Amino acid sequence: MTLRTAGSMLVVFLWSVAVVLGQNGWSVTYTTQSICVLKGSTVKLTCSFRYPRGHKVTSNFWFTKMETEDIGLDPEYAGHVEYHGDKEKDCTLRITDLRERDSSTYRFRLLTDQEGGTYTGSPGVTLSVTGLQVKVTDGHQDKTLTCSTTCTLTDNPTYIWYKNGQHLDESTSPQYKDPVYSNYEDSYSCAVKGHDDLHSPAVCVQGQDCSRVTYTKRRICVLKGSTVDISCTYVGYYSTTSTFWFRSDKSTPEDLTRDPGYTGRVEYTGTYKGPFTLRISDLIEEDSAEYRFTFKTYYFEWGHSFPGTTMSVTGLQVKVTPAAEGQKTLTCITTCTLTDNPTYIWYKNGQRLDEPTSQQYSVNSYYSDSYSCAVEGHEDHHSPAVCVRGESCMNVTYTHQSICALKGSTVDISCFYTHPSWHNLTEVSWFNKWESGVTKDLSQDSEYTSRVEYYRQTEKDSTLRITDLRESDSTEYKFRFTTDKARWGYSFHGTTLTVTGSRVEVTPEWSSESKTLSCSTTCTLSNPNPTYIWYKNGQHLDESTSPPVQRPSLH
C-alpha cells in the first residue's frame, strides 16, 4: 500500500516497555499496550515477531477487535493506513489522519506455509483517539480554563493557548496558568505543541457572542489546475469593518486579493456568521500553504497566529510496478491524499476505459500502449501518459490546455505526439466534433473551409492554424493519429479555445468628472504581454502593455 498525506504531521513514536507473548517458538512483541493520540494526527503502532524454525511466512497483517480481516483491505481505512508486510521481523503499522472511530484494539496476525501455521499476538495495542475541548470552570470572580481530552495523551505534551486567535502561552499543564476574568468579547482555544493545526474549537468565556473563527476543514489536498473553496465561519462581538484571507508564511498578513501571485485567481464570497469562502482557481503547486482568515472591528482585530486550513496542491502521476509475469500494476499517485475519496478514470492510448475506477489497475504489458489517469470531475487535469514497457509508446501532449484569442485574429493550436518506431504513420487530423466514435477532420469541414491549415516543424509535432476567428469557433480541439498498427483515441481533453471581442468599459458610469476606461475581453488573452492601442474619435492616441486602462478627465 502507498500512503500520501496532506500537510505536516508529527508521528507519535512509542517507547514504552515491550510486551512479549508467545508459545512454542511463536511470539509477537508490542512496544506498548495502549496509546492516546489526537484526532487528525498520525500514529505508529510498532511490534516485532518470531515464528518456529522451518516455517515460511506467507502473509501477515493487522486487524481490529475480533475481526480477522486485514485492515489494509478495509475500505474504512482506505488512504489512512500503511503497512509494508515485512515477513522477517518488523510489523509497524502507520495510521494517518486519525478519526475517533479508529479507537480500537489492534492485533497482529501471521500465517506460514506449515500446518497450524497461524498465530495472533494478544492482547494487542489499544488505541484511543481524542479531540481537544476547552472546559470553563466558574470561580468566585474569575474562571479556570482546562484543555480537556477523553484520555490521557501519550508523551507528556506541551499545551498552547490562544486568546482571540492570538498565541498566548505554552505550558506542560492542561490548565491555563492565569485566572481569566469574565469578558463577553473574548474567546479561548488550546492546542498541543507539534500539532498546532489540531486546535480545539474556540469557546466563549462569557455568553455566546464572543469573537471566534471556525474553519470548515483543517487540511485540503487538491489537484493542480483545479479550483478550490476554503471556508470558515466567524463571529465578532462588535460590527465588522473588514475581512480578508492571507497566507501564514508571509511575514505580515497580506490580503490575497492584493497579492500579485493571485491576480485574477482569487474571489471572496459569504456573509457574517455564514460560511465565508476563499476561492482560488487555476491552482499551481506554489499555492500549497496554510491559509488563515482575519476580521477587524472598530475595537478589535482577530489574531493572526490561530492555525487555519493547510492546502496541498498535487499533480497526478502513473507509477508502473512489476506484478505477475507479463503483468504490470499501475497506480495513480499524488503527493498528498486527495480530499473527498475521488473516483479514478483510466485511459489507454487516449481512450477512456470503463473499468477500473480505483486507484490501481493491473494490465498486460505491450510496448505500444500508454496509460494515463484522471479524477472524475477533473478530467481535463489528467496525468502525463506513461509507457507500460520501453520508452516509446502512443502518446499525445498538448502545448496548451486553454487559449484565449481575439475575434478576427489567427491562432495556432499545437501538440506533440509519439509512437513506437516500428509503427508507420498513416493519418493525422484535428477535430472538434465527435459522435459515437466518429470524428470529422476540420480540413474537410465546410465551416472551416479555407480557414484551417495543418503544418509541422518536426516528425513528432502538429499545429492547427485557424484564421479569421469567429466567436462560434470557441470550443475544444483535439488531435488524432493512426499508424498501421494502432490508433490514438479521442477521450483525452485537448485544447479549449475561447474567442473574444474587445470593448471599452467606462467607470464610474454616472456623476463623475473623471472616468476610467478599460479595454475589456471575456477571457484573459493568451498573449502574455499584449500591447493595447487607444483611439479618440478615430485618432491613434497611445500604446501600452500594462495596464490596459486609460484615465482621461472627461468634461
Three-state secondary structure string covering 55-87: CCEEEEEEEECCCCCCHHHCHHHCCCEECCCCC
Q: Which residue has the cell 456568521?
A: 273
Domain 395-499 class, CATH top level: mainly beta
16 burial type by CB count under 10 A (0-12 exposed, 13-18 middle, 19+ buried): middle
| Per-residue confidence (pLDDT) for residue 88, from 0 to 100 | 65
Q: In degrees, to the nearest 5, what angle opens at C-alpha 366 toward C-alphas 362 and 369?
A: 85
Has domain 11-130 been given CATH number 2.60.40.10? Answer: yes
* pLDDT average, residue stretch 418-432: 92
pLDDT tier at 397 (50, 70, 90 boundaries)? very high
| Per-residue confidence (pLDDT) for residue 90, from 0 to 100 | 76
* pLDDT average, residue stretch 140-164: 90
Domain boundaries, the chain: 11-130, 133-208, 213-313, 315-387, 395-499, 502-550
| Per-residue confidence (pLDDT) for residue 199, from 0 to 100 | 93
pLDDT at 347 over 70: yes
User: Topology of domain 213-313, per CATH?
Assistant: Immunoglobulin-like (2.60.40)
Q: Which tops the pLDDT comparison, 135 or 517? A: 135
* pLDDT average, residue stretch 7-24: 44
| DSSP state for residue 10 in the 8-state scheme | -
* pLDDT average, residue stretch 445-463: 90
* pLDDT average, residue stretch 401-412: 93
pLDDT tier at 23 (50, 70, 90 boundaries)? low
95 vs 102: CA distance, rounded Å? 9
* pLDDT average, residue stretch 521-525: 84
| Per-residue confidence (pLDDT) for residue 517, from 0 to 100 | 81
Residues 78-103 as b or e (16 or more Cβ within 10 Å = b) = ebbbbbeeebeeebbbbbbbbeeebb
Q: What is the pLDDT of residues 355-370, one digit of tens each?
A: 888 898 889 878 889 9
User: Topology of domain 133-208, per CATH?
Assistant: Immunoglobulin-like (2.60.40)
| Per-residue confidence (pLDDT) for residue 15, from 0 to 100 | 39
| Long-range CB contacts (within 8 A, 24+) of 66-70 | 68/109, 68/120
Q: Give the rounded percent of residues in the chain with a pLDDT score beyond 90.
A: 51
How many CA within 13 A on the CB side of residue 261? Answer: 12
* pLDDT average, residue stretch 513-518: 78
Domain 315-387 class, CATH top level: mainly beta
396 vs 104: CA distance, rounded Å? 49
Q: Which tops the pLDDT comparison, 76 or 290? A: 290
* pLDDT average, residue stretch 104-111: 92
Nearest CA among 242, 144, 239, 142 for reference residue 185: 239
* pLDDT average, residue stretch 386-411: 91
pLDDT tier at 115 (50, 70, 90 boundaries)? confident
| Per-residue confidence (pLDDT) for residue 67, from 0 to 100 | 66
The answer to whether 133-208 and 213-313 have equal CATH topology is yes
| Per-residue confidence (pLDDT) for residue 20, from 0 to 100 | 45
* pLDDT average, residue stretch 535-540: 82
* pLDDT average, residue stretch 480-486: 93
Quote the distance between the C-alpha of residue 141 and its chain's center.
48
Asked which of 101-115, 168-182, 375-389 is least confident by mean pLDDT, the reply is: 168-182
* pLDDT average, residue stretch 522-539: 81
Q: What is the pLDDT of residues 36-92, one digit of tens each?
A: 999 999 999 998 888 898 898 888 899 997 667 888 888 888 778 888 766 567 788
313 vs 282: CA distance, rounded Å? 11
321 vs 252: CA distance, rounded Å? 46
> Which grid cell sits at 384?
502525463
The rounded mean pLDDT for the chain is 86
DSSP string, 168-217: EEEESSSB-SS-EE--SS-EEEEEETTBGGGPPPPEESSSS---EEEES-
pLDDT at 134 over 70: yes
> Which grid cell sits at 294?
482575519
